[in-house]
Chain A
Amino acid sequence: MARQRRPAPVRRRPAPAAPVLGGAGVAPVELAEPTVEPAASLTNQAMQRSLRAGAPPAELVIEQRRSLGNQAMQRLLPASTGRRQSAGPAAESPIVTRDPAPAPALGTPLAPPAPARDPARTFAVPKFTHLGPRFDADYLPVGPTPAEGVLTITLKVHITFKDFTRAMMRQEPFAAHRFTPEQRADFAWTAAEKAAFATDFASSVQSGWSEKHMMDLKEPTFDHHRAKVKIVVKIVPDAAQAHNKMTAQKVPTVGPADKKAPRFRSFVQGDTSTLEIRDAKETEALEHREKKLVRQVKSFANNSAALTPEMEGQIKAIADIVKAKKITLGPDGAAKWEMFFVGRTTSSGAAGLNDKLGKDRAAAVQTKFNAEAGQTTANQKVVSKGETNAGTDPKFRRVDILISNMGGTTTVQFNTAAHEAGHMFGLDDEYVEEKKGGEGQFAGDEPAHYGDVKALMGAEAADEMLVDNSGSLMSKGATVKRGHYVYFLQALNDMTAKKWTVE
C-alpha cells in the first residue's frame, strides 16, 4: 500500500497574491529532489515513475539492481538519460557510484532485503522549508545517525552602494581625521570594489556562522537525527525579496596604516543595515578581559544593605555554580583570577551616601557568598560603583559579581559582518555599554534574546548570553555560542514539529 505523502508545512513572509495549490493558505513545497520510496514497496513501476520525473536517486537504483538484476537495470537507465548506449551496459550509467553486489552461488539463498524503516520513526517528507522575515530555512532530513542531514539558513540581502562625500568629512569620527590627497580621491565605489564587497560579505557571514554547532533530535519513538547548520548568503537584486536591505558605505581605504580613515560605525536597524566597505573582509582587533562568571544579585530595599531571602537564594545558586565548575581564584599560569563584588545604588540620594551604601551592599553579598561557597576573602575585592550611570529603577539596588582574569587581556579578531548578521538573524548585543540614567546595557544584564534562549534551550545556555565584554560574537569576539542558534532552532522545531537541541 502506497504511503500517504503530505506536503511539508511552509511558512511564508507576506508576499503578493500568487496561485495557491493544495489548500487555502498553504502553498505546496517546491521539491528539488525526486521522492524516495521505502525499499519494501519498490517495483519496476516505481522506477519508471522516477525515471519520468528525472534522474532516479542512487538509493532507488541500488535497490532495483538487487531485486531486478544488473542487466534489467541497464535496460531501464539509458532511456532516462536520453543517451543511447552503443556498447558496455555499465559504461554510461550516470548515477550509481557503488559496484553492484556479486551474483549469489547456485543453491545459496538470496540475502533478505534490508528491513524497511518504520515510517512512524522517520520524517515523511524529504525536505522541509520555512520562509521567515529574517531568514529562510531548509532541512533535508537524513537519518538515523551516524548519517547527518543539513539545515540550511539562507539570508537574502539587497545592497545599495553609497559613495563617501565631502559632507561626511565634517561628521565624526571623520571630522577629526586629516584626509590625505589620495584619500580625497578615493570617495567613490569602483565596480571591482562593489563585486568584492558582496562576495566578501557573504563569505564572512557564512564562515562566521556555519557549522559551529549541530542540531540534535533524540526522541524515544523516533530515529536519532542530527543536522549540520550551513549559512548561505544570497545577494538579491530586488529589495522586495530581501530579508535585509543594506547600504554599503564607501570610506577611503588608501593610505598607510597610521593614517587610515577611521571606521564608520556600522549598524542594523530592523530590516535595514549600513556597513562600511572594510566590514566585509577586514576584522578589527578588540581586547577584552576573560571572565569565568558574571552575575547580578538584586534587589535590596531602599537605603538598605540587608539581604532578602530571595537574594540569599540567588547567592547560594551562584555559589553552587562556582563549586560545580570548580572555579578557583588566584594565579593559574599567565592568568590571575580575582572575584569582584561591585555594589550599586539607584541615582536617588546623595552621591557620597550612595557610594558608601554600595560598598556595604557588596560586603554583605561577599560574606554570604563565602559562607555558601566555603571560600575566604583571598583574591576578592569589594568595590562600590554607587550611583554611577544608574537610574531610579530598583534593579540598580544590587551587587554585581564578576570573576575576571586580572593577569591580562585577550585580543580577538572581531568579524563585523558576522556580528551584524547576528542582528539580522534576530539577536541583540551582548557587550557592556553603560549610559547615563541607567540606559544601555550593564554587566550581567539579560539581552533581548535571553528569554527565547532560556525557553528553548534552558538556563545554562541562556546564562552564556548575559551581557559582558567577552569573546562572544555578539559581544566583542568571534565565538558563536549555542544560544546564538536559537532562532535557527526555533525554525527547525516549527518545520518538523519536533523538539531539537543544539549541541
Chain B
Amino acid sequence: MSAAPRDERAYLTREYVDPTGGRQTRRVWTDDGRVAAFDGREWWTVCTLTAAQVAQAKAAIRAAGLLTAADLAAPSDLHDAADLTYRWRLDGRTGAVTNHAYPALSHPNFVALEERLNALEDEASNPQDGG
C-alpha cells in the first residue's frame, strides 16, 4: 500500500464514480512523476514517469483539448451510467471535464489522451535499455 498522492502536486486526476454502488476509483499523475491508483480500498503506485515523460503527459493533455472540453451528458434513454472525470492543473489554471455516460459512450477528448498516457506508463514500466 502506498500513501495517497498530494493533490496540490497533481497535474491530472481521473475519477470514476458508480452511482448505484457508490464505488469510486482514482488515478493521479503528479509532478514528481508518480502515477498512483486508488482501487476503492487502498492506494498503490502504478509507475514513475521521468521528467521528460511528465512533460509529454502534460503536452498530451493540451493536445487532447482537455482544457477547453465540455462535459458529455448522458442521453435521456441511458440508465445507470457512471461518471468519469478528468481534473487538470496546468499553465496556472485548473478545470474538470466529465463523461456522464460512461462506459456506454466515450468522451471524444478522452480517447487520444488515454492512448498517450497508457503508452507513457508502458514505457515507464518497461524502460528500454540504451544501445
Binding site for B on A (CB under 8 A): 170-173, 175-178, 262-270, 274, 284, 286, 414, 416, 419-420, 423, 428-429, 431, 433, 435-436, 439, 476
The A/B interface has a contact count, at CB < 8 Å, of: 89
**Dominant SS among interface residues on chain A:** loop
B38 x A173 contact (CB < 8 A): no
Whether A265 contacts B82 by the Cβ 8 Å rule is yes
Q: Is the CB of A267 within 8 A of B81?
A: yes
Chain A residues whose C-beta falls within 8 Å of the C-beta of B103 in the assembled complex? 171, 264-265, 267, 274
Contact B25 A431 (CB under 8 A): no
Q: B39's contact among A176, A265, A414, by CB below 8 Å, is which?
A: A176
B92 contacts partner chain A, Cβ-Cβ < 8 Å: no
Tell me the smallest distance from the CB of A163 to a CB of chain B, in Å: 16
Contact: A476 with B27, CB < 8 Å? Answer: no
- Chain B residues with CB under 8 Å of A419's CB are 20, 80
What is the CA–CA distance of A429 and B77 in the complex, to the nearest angstrom? 11
Q: How far is the CA of A439 from the CA of B75 in the complex (A)?
A: 12
A-B contact pairs, 7 of them (CB 8 A): A171-B103, A172-B14, A265-B20, A265-B82, A265-B102, A286-B20, A439-B100
Contact partner, A476, options B16, B20, B26, B38, Cβ 8 Å: B20
Cβ of B65 under 8 Å from chain A = no
Interface size class of B (residues with CB under 8 A): 20 to 34
User: In the complex, which residue of chain B has the Cβ closest to the Cβ of A178?
Assistant: B44
* Contact, CB under 8 Å: A172 / B20: no
Residue B37 at the chain A interface, CB threshold 8 Å: yes
Chain B nearest CB, measured from A205 CB (Å): 15
Report yes or no: A270 in contact with B77, Cβ–Cβ below 8 A: yes
- A265, B81: Cα distance in complex, Å: 7
* B contacts, CB < 8 Å to A: 14, 16, 18-23, 25-27, 37-40, 44, 73, 75, 77-84, 98, 100, 102-104, 114, 118
Please judge, given known A-B contacts A265-B103, A269-B79, A431-B20, whether A170 and B26 are in contact too, CB under 8 Å: no
The reply to whether B104 and A274 form a contact with Cβ atoms under 8 Å apart is: yes
A273's closest neighbor in chain B, by CB?
A: B79
> Which of chain A's residues have a CB closer than 8 A to the CB of B102?
172, 265
Contact call B80/A267, Cβ cutoff below 8 A? yes
Measured CA separation A262–B21 after assembly (Å): 11
Known: A269-B78, A429-B80. A262 touches B40 (CB 8 A): yes
Q: A267-B80, A423-B79 are in contact. List 16 more A-B contacts (CB 8 A).
A: A170-B118, A172-B102, A173-B40, A175-B25, A175-B37, A176-B37, A262-B23, A262-B39, A263-B18, A269-B79, A270-B77, A274-B103, A286-B21, A419-B20, A420-B80, A439-B100
Q: B22 to chain A: closest CB distance in Å?
A: 8
Given contacts A170-B118, A414-B20, A431-B19, contact A176 B79 (CB under 8 A): no
B80 touches A176 (CB 8 A): no
Q: A176-B39, A269-B75 are in contact. Are A263 and B80 (CB under 8 A)?
A: no
Contacts of B84 in A (CB 8 A): 172
- Give chain A nearest CB distance to B77 CB in angstroms: 5
Do A173 and B18 form a contact, CB below 8 Å, given A267-B79, A423-B80?
Answer: yes
Residues of A within 8 A of B39 (CB): 173, 176-178, 262
B84 smallest CB distance to A (angstroms): 6
8 nearest A-B pairs in the assembled complex, by CB-CB distance: A172-B16, A176-B25, A176-B39, A176-B37, A265-B82, A433-B19, A269-B78, A173-B25
A266 CB to nearest B CB, Å: 6
Q: What is the distance, in angstroms, from A171's C-beta to the closest C-beta of chain B?
A: 7
Evaluate whether A263 and B23 lie within 8 angstroms (CB atoms) in the complex, with A173-B16, A176-B40, A439-B100 already known. Answer: yes
Separation of A429 and B78 alpha carbons in the complex (Å)? 10
- C-alpha gap A466/B39 in the complex (Å): 32
Of the residues B21, B25, B27, contact of A284 by C-beta under 8 Å: B21
Determine whether the beta carbon of B23 is less than 8 Å from that of A176: no
Query: Using Cβ atoms and an 8 Å threshold, which residues of chain B touch A267?
Result: 78-81, 103-104
Smallest beta-carbon distance B76→chain A, Å: 8
Which chain B residue lies CB-closest to A427?
B79
Q: Which residue of B lies closest to A429 (CB)?
A: B79
A172-B14, A172-B25, A433-B19 are known contacts. Are A439 and B104 too (CB-CB below 8 A)? Answer: no
Chain A residue at minimum C-beta to C-beta distance from B118: A170
Q: Are B27 and A175 in contact, with the CB atoms below 8 A?
A: yes
Chain A nearest CB, measured from B20 CB (Å):
7
Residue among A264, A428, A433 with the highest chain B CB neighbour number at 10 A: A433
